[in-house]
Every structure is written in structure tokens, then in C-alpha cells.
Amino acid sequence: MGAGRQTPARAGAGAMRIGAPTEVKRDEYRVALTPAGVRELVDAGHEVFVQSGAGDGSAIQDDAYLAQGATIVPDAATVFGEATLIVKVKEPQPEEVARLEPRHTLFTYLHLAADETLTRRLMESGATCVAYETVEDARGRLPLLAPMSEVAGKIATQAGAFMLEKPLGGRGILLGGVPGVAAANVLVIGGGVVGMNAAFIALGMEASVFVFDRNIDRLRELDIAFGGRADTCFASTLEIEERLPWADLVIGAVLVHGARAPHVITRAQLSEMKRQAVLVDVSIDQGGCFETSHPTTHSDPTYEVDGITHYCVANMPGAVPITSTYALTNATMPYVLHLASAGVRAAVADNPGLKLGVNIAAGEVTYHPVAEAVGVAHTAVDEALAAVAA
């Protein structure tokens, strides 16, 4: 098995017990800890419990975790029973929510603004729930969302190009065209990390690309980044509407930090589009940015509304788990270490950006956009955490 610790290091005073269960959401193959992460945590004096087979989907075998000091346990019930800090990738499924207790801190993607039922069940659990997607850095960026946004943006264009093929129900057009035949027109709505990466791939495939955003400074940055190869457009309702009849592929990449995504294309506007054009909604985790969007899976990724193909897979990066797992854990590991070493109350006191990640604590919603979206009262983070053991 190579060099590495064969048994867990002895936990000292103040050590945390961290658990990584196998993801159970359909078509999810990522895992929240890699062997490198286990090594970091164990070297810091913590105990790590990994469910047997948790890394299989990302080509990480149990022996690799064992070699770095993890304890392999047989099932999720044992992970939740042994650990205080639970690290995951996707939002907890009902059987996982049922295992949460007030002593737990859950650190994962949550996307609660689009899921009132999950929000209320997590409130009832009493657990402290910290969302990757609302943690901010000192510049107001989203460091734990960014790596998956990069992956999702690239997948969005790949998937859209594939779904444009006639056997898949598309128009039957090649994204980049060929000499003598025009390339497809790709509209990317949202110029953030997802949109930029989606546009880069579309440009690489030689499509005609239009990127929309409401931030003029961001459009200037994108114009420079693309070397003028993409058209940048102000995302007014009229501008989008006037471009829709030209579009073969539309990628929705709209993000409002922690809040439900606004609709940028209505059902009525679908009638303006070419038949069998494709919509890819990367905002689906936050409720979707097309009025006609609803979540789909990798096993059954598309459906049709009014002759328009919709691709709305809610965990796009899960299709490439080897890339995604390492990209995600590279970003989350410093935060996991901080939470484990300091405890949630001290960690968020040390890091204001991490405090923004606390969505639920002591049965209260502590992130205002989530409270507003699901219709519950908002409680200040410090007030809620005062009821949580350090």
C-alpha cells in the first residue's frame, strides 16, 4: 500500500471525529474526502471515519484511506454515530437527515433556497448546517462553489452539443459547423464562473457565442478573457428575447448568492425559439433559471417542453467524479481542518466568510436569502450558535 500510516493516530484533547459517508443521491459518484484529506486531518490529531466504498465512484479504494489513518466503517449509520463533523458532497437525502442530531455539524452543498422541505427537516434535526455554496472569501467570491462551477460550465457545453444531435432529439446541428456551413449559435446567460467556462468550451468547439450579464465591468473582463472572440451582451429582458430566435443552444448560468435563481426565459418565450433547440440549466440546484426547468438525472437527463429540449441535471459535476472529487476537496480541505480543529463557533468567529456558510443552527435559519426563499424567520448566526456547543 506504500508509505503511510496504517492505523489512525491517537486522538488528543480537543480532537474532532470526522465522518465521510457514501453519497446516496442518484447518479452521484463523488466523495467528500480523499486520502490526502484524511492524512491532513489525522496528522492534525483528528479521527476520520470513512464508509466502506465511499470512494469507489471516484476510483479511491478503502485501502488508500486506511493507509493514511482512516477507520473504515461498514455503513452510514456508523459514520453518523461515530462522527461529530459530517462532510458530504450533495445535500442530505431523507435517510441521512434522519441520522442528524444536534451534536452534528454538517458541511456540504445544501442549496436550501429551492427546497423548503429539506430546510425544515434540517431545522428539526438541530444540527448545524454549513453550506459550501454560501462560504465567501475576503473578496466576496465563492471559493467552494467555484471548482464545481468550472466543471459544470464545461459539462454544460459538452452536454448541449451532444443533445443537439438528431438521435438525441436535437436539431441535428454540429456546434462548430464546417467550412461552408455556419456554426451553431450559443447563448450563455450569466457571465460568472459557470458562464465563462461554458463559453470557453463553446469557443473551443468553434461555435458562435454570445455571453450575457448585467454587470458591465464583468462584460469588459470577459471580452478581454475571450480575446474578442465572443459577443458580450447586456442581459436585459429584451436583448435576451431578441436573441432567442437565433439560438441553437442556451446555457443558463445565473447565480444569486444562496438565493433562488430568477427566471430569465419564460415558457411563453419558448415559442420564439427554433424547434429542437436545447436549453441547459446549470442553475437548477437553485431552482432553475428557466420557467420550464425541473431537476433531471444523468440516467434520464432531458425532457421536452413546447418542442424545446431541456437538460437540467442537478449534479452535473457528478458525471466526472475523478476530476470533480479532487477539485472540490482541494478547495474544502482548509475549511474542514479549521472546523475540526477549532469547532464551529470558534471557526466562524475566526473567518467571517465561513460564517456566511452557516445556513442553519440550533433549529434556526441563519442565512437571510434562504429564510426569505422558504418563508421562515431569519436568526443571526451568532445568536443561533450561542446555543451550539463549541
- Helices and strands (H and E) in the chain: how many: 15, 15
* Candidate list 115, 213, 248, 285, residue with the active-site label: 285
For residue 163, pLDDT over 90 is answered with yes
pLDDT for 390: 53
Q: What is the mean pLDDT of residues 201-208?
A: 98
Mean of all residue pLDDT scores within the chain: 94
DSSP conformation class of 6: S
> Which of these is catalytic: 46, 111, 263, 310?
111
Task: Examine the pLDDT at 298 and tell me if it is beyond 50.
Answer: yes
Segments in 126-246 forming alpha helices (H): 146-163, 193-204, 216-225, 237-243
User: Tell me, what's the pLDDT at 258?
Assistant: 75
Percent of the chain with pLDDT over 70: 96
Q: Please, what is the Cα angle at 319 between 40 and 250, to 5 degrees?
A: 125
Inform me whether the pLDDT recorded for 76 exceeds 90: yes
Per-residue HEC secondary structure of 74-123 comes to CCHHHHHHHCCEEECCCCCCHHHHCCCCCCCEEEECCCHHHCHHHHHHHH
What percent of the chain clears pLDDT 90, i.e. is strictly above it? 93
Residue 300: active-site member: no
Task: Say if residue 192's pLDDT is above 80.
Answer: yes
Q: Mean pLDDT across the stretch 149-178?
A: 97
53: left (phi over 0), alpha (psi -120 to 50) or beta: left
Set out the domains of the chain in order of their start, with CATH numbers: 17-135+321-385 (3.40.50.720), 148-319 (3.40.50.720)
User: What integer pLDDT is reported at residue 256 of this predicted model?
Assistant: 84
User: Per residue in 244-282, pLDDT tens?
Assistant: 999 999 999 998 887 889 999 999 999 999 999 999 999
Active-site residue, 104 included: no
Q: Is the pLDDT confidence value at 319 over 90?
A: yes
Element (H, E) at 349: helix 344-350
- 3-class state of residue 235 by DSSP: coil
First vs last C-alpha separation in the chain: 37
Rounded-to-integer distance, Cα 284 and Cα 237, Å: 20
**C-alpha–C-alpha distance, residues 263 and 289, integer Å:** 4
Q: Is the pTM of this model over 0.95?
A: no
